[in-house]
Each structure stands twice: as structure tokens, then as C-alpha cells.
Amino acid sequence: MLWLDNGILRIGVLPVAGGRILSVGFRGQETLWRNADLIDDALHPVRGHAVEPTSGSMADWHNYGGDKTWPAPQGWSGPHEWAGPPDPVLDSGAYSWRQREHETGITIELTSGDDPRTGLRITRELTLRDGEASYELSLRAQNTSERTVSWALWNVTQRRAGEPGRGGVWIGVEPGQLELVELVPGTGVPTAERSADVVHVPHQDVVGKLGFPTATGWLAHAAHGSTTTQAFRVDRDLAYPDGGSRVEVWMEYPLDAPLEHLGGLQPSARIVEIEVLGPRAELDPGQSTRLQLRIGVGDGIEPVSAVSEAGHWGAPTSTGDGCAIDFFPYVTGALELVRTGERLVDVNAGQKIRVRASEILRGESLRVCSEDGTSAWNAGILAGPAPDEGAEA
């Protein structure tokens, strides 16, 4: 196992288990779901369990949890679909690894074996920089076969689900009619609620998955005291798998009996999967497709209204003297207006701060600039109306 620590995040990786990230600790609090029946807190197998390549039906799958990368679309109808998990190469095979230290942090590169079924070799590059409450995942799938193949990258992150009624998943979506794709019904599919350009999928007792074809490039999941966000690039001109889904959300909860129509899957825990997909790419031999994610972590489980490179924003709230909004920074510096350079407030990575809406001109672009002025991160645009229309915007 490998451990990376920058004082805010402590990340554990198990290369032998499909190159998984199996721990992301935020000030000592675990943010991922990991199967404690198979892997302990130190990322060692428990009670003699052997981490080794596995194939068979869904009932044979060792679901270790954490964060992993698979090819999409998933299915069992032919070679054009990935018939996993389980899968002995990309999901449960051992990944080779190498480490690169640089001036601002560390990068771990994890590489799968060459999979004869899909023709792919998957590379996961994890970068953790000093003093940030975020990290980056750079994913690549290369065609190592002698034939042309067509696949999309699919990153799957498992987190502990909360009880119904608190927290859940928030997804940025395009304006207009909400498009949903009902995928993999187990006991059903999750329900979703829309407010402006954000969709909320609350925690609920269901086993199933929804796809979001109009996702704009960010999602967030809040449960058990912390929120994890993922930001990524969307290419509207390219086709995505699973009915055009750019984001997918899977939920499960403990069942007393297996779901035979899902290969004997029998959930034993409350889990939420936040899943990001890249566009489907036709790859000639030697060609690659790529997907990059920036993952941030913050305290609390309040609703998320926007995610940026510099941090994520809560929902505007009315106060006694106007309107305020919480900002959860991933970096340290000064929150500024881009147009004027006006300094609004100092922020520290991983420490929530409340910003008065009266200090921000509606529609202005924001950034966080480092203390020495050598770095700047996009903090987004706060363009929505205040909850109290009489308050100063």
C-alpha cells in the first residue's frame, strides 16, 4: 500500500487491488467507503483474505470500495460492453506503480496490465499538492491491442451513504428540461429533485442508478460530516455512453436476499457511488482517451450550489442584515474579484468561511490568489439571486 499526506488530506492507495484509492482522510475523518470485512484501516487484507484477480458473476466480486476506473459501457451482451465487475485485469488485477516528487507535492502513477478483452491498458495518475484540500486524478485508457476498439473512461467513487432525509448528491446541470436516464434498476432507481441549475439526489432506500446527460462538469456528495466534490470537463460535441450520461449516481442499502437479475448482488451496506464518465472514443491501436478530475473535500453536509477549482459554495441564506453564502476553500490565499482585484476575505484550505453577499457584485468572476501572488485559482461566478430579494445583491 502507498500513503500520501499533505497535512490536510491523507490518501491511501492499494495498487494490487485494481489501483484503487481506498482511503481519503480529511483531518483524520475518512471520506470514502471501504469494505471493512475485506480491508482494514491500514489497507491490509483481513482474516487471511487474499487480494487476487477475480472473475465470475457479480456474486463473486470482492467489492473493496474506494475509487477506481473502469471502461464503459458496462454490459454482458457482447464484446462491445465491459462485462465487469468482477474483472481479473482492470478491476482486480495488480497495477504497477511509480512515484514522482516535485516542488509542490507528489504524483503516483498506477498502470494496469493489458486487458485482452477490452484491448485497454488503464493508467491512473494521482497528484496531491502541499497545503491543498484537493487532489487531481488524470486518467488514460490506451488501446494496446491490434484492433480498433470503442470505449469511454468511467471513474467510480464509493462513499458511505447517509440516512434518508439528510445530505445526498448535488449535480450541476444545464438549464431547460431535466433529462434523466434510468439505469440498472435493482429495487428501483433513485429519485431526483431540481432547483435552478442544480439537481439533488437525496439519500434513499433504493438499489439502482440514474444517469445525467446534461451534467455540466461538477458533482458533490455530502454525508457523515463531510462533502466530496468532483470537477471535470464536459465536451458537448461528443457522444457519451449509457444514453449520453456524463454523470451517474448509484445507491444501495442492505438487503436480506440477493438480486438475481443483477447477478446475485446482495448489498450489505449503505453506499453511494458518484460516477464520472468521459466521452466514448474510437481508438485505433496505440491511441488513447483521457479524463481528468479535480477532487475537493470540505466540512459539513449542507447543499452545494457550485464547485470551482478553488473550492465549493453552499446555498445562499438570509441573515439579519442581508444574505450570506458559505465558501469551502481547497487552497489558501485571498478571495478576490477578478475584474477589479478587490480583496474580499482571506481563506485557508479546508476551513469554511462565510461570505456576505453584499460584498460580491452579482455576476462577478471570483478567484483565490496565493499569499505570494504567484498562483491564482478560479473560484467561479455567483450569479444566482439572493433568497431575500430585498437584500443587497
- pLDDT tens sequence across 184-236: 999 999 999 998 899 999 999 999 999 999 999 999 999 999 999 999 999 99
Asked whether the predicted pLDDT for residue 393 surpasses 50, the reply is no
Give the chain's largest Cα–Cα span: 67
Angle CA(249)–CA(251)–CA(254) in degrees, nearest 5? 170
**Dihedral over Cα of 300, 303, 307, 312: its sign:** negative
Q: What is the pLDDT of residues 64-83, one digit of tens each?
A: 999 999 999 999 999 999 99
Per CATH, domain 2-298 is 3.40.1410.10: no
pLDDT at residue 373 above 90?
A: no
Q: How confident is the model at residue 392 (pLDDT cuts 50, 70, 90)?
A: very low
Percent of the chain with pLDDT over 70: 95
Please report where in the chains the cell 489501483 appears, as a residue. 19
| Whole-number Cα distances in Å, 213 to 156, 178, 254 | 17, 9, 29
* Phi and psi torsions of 359, nearest 5°: -90, -5
Domain boundaries, the chain: 2-298, 318-381
pLDDT tens-digit profile of 38-71?
A: 999 999 999 889 999 999 988 899 999 999 999 9
Please report the pLDDT score of residue 361 as a whole number: 58
Inter-residue contact 231 to 218 (CB < 8 Å) = yes
Mean pLDDT in residue range 108-126: 98
pTM of the model: 0.94
Q: Stretch 306-334: mean pLDDT, rounded?
A: 89
The whole-number pLDDT of residue 122 equals 98
DSSP 388: S
